Chains A and B, each alone.
Chain A
């Protein structure tokens, strides 16, 4: 579904350059749950911004179903984002003025879905995500975990094929984080959602089917879960982090 080929991202001008991404390549297959892991400042958000077409790459290509996103016009990019991508970010990014129901419905409304069916579709997905009883509330009236569920609902309700998540558990306590991660793997397993999540947290990463390690803007290692259980995989991730050198404590 998604191919990232040798992308580079450079910030700043001549004498003050930050190479946030350095020849990063990987692929995401349909229905996969991929986690990209790295310490703070390793370029995760930058990578996600490039994939979500909010930002542009300095070099390399991002192909979505074989189409280079760099070739798309501004309007086509907007269309691409609203039809194909769903976002779940650390800081929730819900509109304060809209109720939970409207925040979810917004994704449909942006896609010009028949207004009559919006409410039913929102209720349907809200039922699956267990947020039916908070639909009438405003974002500041609900908990962080509920906000992330709302964001997930919005990311999937319009049938978007790729869910992008940037440290979605960052602002949640461990229980809410666990709930959200379980929800994500459920969505991946039962609804066939393709998920690309970035995180610095090994526990979150252990829910993935595959983990890529990013350090100083470069892909460093790859770990496949295969048939292993989650806790085994978790410890393997920790081992890799230890091998990466010293920043396990940072990472946790």
Chain B
């Protein structure tokens, strides 16, 4: 019988073990393909053409993905080897040479791998289309289903996959060739030794990893691409160093404290952890890196989306808004374009004035960043009332005689709400009468103030200096992109005509801004979230494999403990302890690094943007929430199934 036949027959016979392995490899291929499809998609490519940084990011992300999946392939191949060590040992015993057995293993796995690649790419194509459909639907963009495969993505997937797979197999092939029969027979029984043998080295690595971890996190927070990359590298090194030194330190710790070791379920929990010490340390480190990356992708995606949403919510409250600045303040060209092209239901052209004083600006100093107006901006009451109507807000009481209103962004409501002093506007001193915080396009230099604006009785505004003219309208139909671009074109033509580079017009439209957010979300946020999901599912797969490989050992262990008279409750506790430790350890450093990163990122935009469900705290909480939800569901499933399978009846 040829090896090929023997290999095929083996593969068929071991279907159950192979199934796990096969599913893992299919999943890896599917995720690889969909990642590549994303990377070569038109959206991302257009974006990448504009930004060299993005191309670099994509290249790096590809590298990261290849590394993660490479490790996944290596891990699962090794798992297969350990499952079948006994069988291979028997082949050796019955006279096959190591070389032949290694060849057998190689052929078997190449068969499985090739099948996995084909199936995975098909599945990945489907996955990619599904995700696109979902995201496009979310942003009300048109989507047409087409099961088309991108050739470059297929090529890249094939390349990466073969690379990863052959490397993993090559290593195991070498391992088998060098193995003694005894090693193979006891492959799954042997415990692994410590990686860092001496206490001195261990402590050095431990301290170094903590320092590197803190340094790496700080570098990550610098938000400079290359520095952040260096930071990421530091953080990864730190995680590996930490888990290897930690794992090696545990046996030493208990050796010195026998009393601790024998207390409660400690012995079983600790030995459960250290039996596969070297690979456990590596596993935890990799999981920790993957978790960190998952959380950071998740968080960055939410932050970016929050920024876009936050900025848009403020600037897209009118169907159309134009701020006109400059020497002559001539709205003529815009109004005539609008008159000819855009059906308007209601409109308002009004001046934004200045008090000439910096009373509120000075008061806000700390909470407020430079408003750029040079003095407190003012709206006439009649204009304000009209604007509220245009934006669809409920009407409010006009300011009483000798009073003014304040309209501000929500983040300034606190300090401005408690402001009691009379405000000097021109010749009159007005006392603050009411405070409103709806979105009113208050985040630009030619908007309705920046952050806040005073609303005064019309007569109090007479004679105040005009900062700029503003035009707001409610249109019958959404303003199209072409119209927005035409208006912006008028603005630059006007600027050229006036030869005044400081004056310009600013055009905002609700429809345009929202479309822009959708596009950005599709290009940036979605890929990031996708990456997060892909990473998480990889981690979960690895954990599943690990679980399966431990099942038999656990079952034997608990059967014996049952005979020896261990209580069921204590057994459940020992199992739970092992579980808790196993799952908590890789999550802790990941959460520490990711929370500082996400929190920092979310606090970077100007105030007033990251508010409500997009506030830094909320983003951190939701990112952690999504992560731990997936994690918890998985842990629960794994724990119940393991408990059912390994604890004696």
Is the Cβ of A118 less than 8 Å from the Cβ of B272?
A: no
Contact between B563 and A115, CB atoms less than 8 A apart: no
Give A154 to B560 CA distance when docked, in angstroms: 13
CA–CA, A108 and B267, complex, Å:
11
Contacts of B562 in A (CB 8 A): 54, 78
Whether B567 contacts A75 by the Cβ 8 Å rule is yes
With A52-B563, A96-B189, A106-B267 in contact, do A115 and B261 touch (Cβ < 8 Å)? yes
Q: What number of residue pairs across chains A and B have CB atoms under 8 A from each other?
A: 80
Contacts of A80 in B (CB 8 A): 565
- Within 8 Å by CB of A82, from B189, B263, B565, lies B565
Residues on A facing B (Cβ under 8 Å): 52, 54, 74-75, 77-83, 85, 87, 93, 95-98, 102, 105-110, 113, 115-116, 118-119, 138, 140, 154
Considering only CB atoms and an 8 Å cut-off, how many residues of chain B contact the other chain?
Answer: 27
Using A106-B267, A116-B259, A140-B190 as known contacts, say yes or no to A97 and B565 having CB atoms under 8 A apart: no
Instruction: Report how far A109 CA is from B271 CA in the complex, Å.
Output: 14
Inter-subunit contact B564/A106 (CB<8 Å) = yes
Cα(A74)–Cα(B562), bound, Å: 11
Cβ–Cβ < 8 Å partners of B189 in chain A: 96, 140
C-alpha spacing A102/B562, complex, angstroms: 17
Q: How far is the CB of A113 from chain B (nearest CB, A)?
A: 8
Digitize B253-286: 1 where CB-to-A-CB distance is under 8 Å, 0 elsewhere.
Answer: 0000011111100010001101100000000000
Q: Which of A75, A81, A98, A138 contacts B563 (CB 8 A)?
A: A81
Docked CA distance A105–B255 (Å): 13
B553 interfacial by beta-carbon distance below 8 Å: yes
Is B271 a contact of A119 with CB atoms below 8 Å?
A: no
Given contacts A118-B262, A140-B186, contact A96 B553 (CB under 8 A): yes
Across the two chains, which residue of chain B brings its CB closest to A118? B262
Pairwise interchain contact B560-A95, C-beta atoms closer than 8 A = yes
- 20 A-B pairs whose Cβ atoms sit less than 8 Å apart in the complex: A54-B563, A74-B568, A75-B568, A78-B566, A78-B568, A79-B565, A85-B565, A87-B564, A93-B563, A95-B560, A97-B272, A97-B557, A102-B261, A105-B261, A106-B267, A115-B260, A116-B259, A118-B262, A119-B258, A119-B262
Evaluate contact between A87 and B186: CB separation under 8 angstroms: no
- 12 other A-B residue contacts (CB within 8 Å) besides A82-B564, A105-B267: A81-B563, A82-B565, A83-B565, A95-B560, A96-B275, A97-B191, A102-B261, A110-B561, A110-B564, A115-B263, A118-B259, A119-B258
Do B557 and A95 have beta carbons less than 8 Å apart? yes
Chain A residues near B263 (CB, 8 Å)?
109, 115
Query: B272: which A residues are within 8 A, CB to CB?
Result: 97
- B648, chain A: closest CB distance, angstroms: 9
Residue in A closest to B263 when the chains form the complex, CB atoms: A115
Closest 5 pairs (CB-CB, A-B): A82-B565, A81-B565, A97-B275, A115-B262, A118-B262
User: Within 8 Å CB of A115, what residues of B?
Assistant: 258-263
Best-buried of B560, B562, B564, B566 by chain A (most CB within 10 Å): B564
In the complex, chain B residues whose CB is within 8 Å of the CB of A78: 562, 565-568
Chain B: minimal CB distance from A118 (Å):
4
Tell me which of A80, A95, A97 has the highest count of chain B C-beta atoms within 10 A of its own C-beta.
Answer: A97
Please give me the residue from chain B that is nearest to A81 by CB atom.
B565
Known contacts A82-B566, A110-B565, A115-B260: A102-B191 contact under CB 8 Å: no
CB 8 Å contact bits of B173-189 with A (1 = contact, 0 = none) = 00000000000001001
Q: Is the beta-carbon distance between B271 and A97 smaller than 8 angstroms? A: yes
Name the residue of chain B whose CB is nearest to the CB of A155. B564
Q: Is the CB of A108 within 8 A of B262?
A: yes
A107 touching B260, Cβ below 8 Å: no
Per-residue A-contact encoding for B342-360, CB less than 8 Å = 1, 0 else? 0000000000000000000
CA distance A95 to B272 in the complex (A): 11
CA distance A22 to B562 in the complex (A): 27
Give the nearest-CB partner of B276 in chain A: A97
Looking across the interface, which residue of chain B has its beta carbon closest to that of A136?
B255
Query: Do B564 and A107 touch across chains, with their CB atoms under 8 A apart?
Result: yes
Give the CA-CA distance A185 to B263 in the complex, in Å.
Answer: 33
Bound complex: CA of A250 vs CA of B259, how far in Å? 49
- In chain B between 542 and 599, which residues have their CB closer than 8 angstroms to a CB of chain A? 553, 557, 560-568, 570
Closest beta carbon of chain A to B255's beta carbon, Å: 9
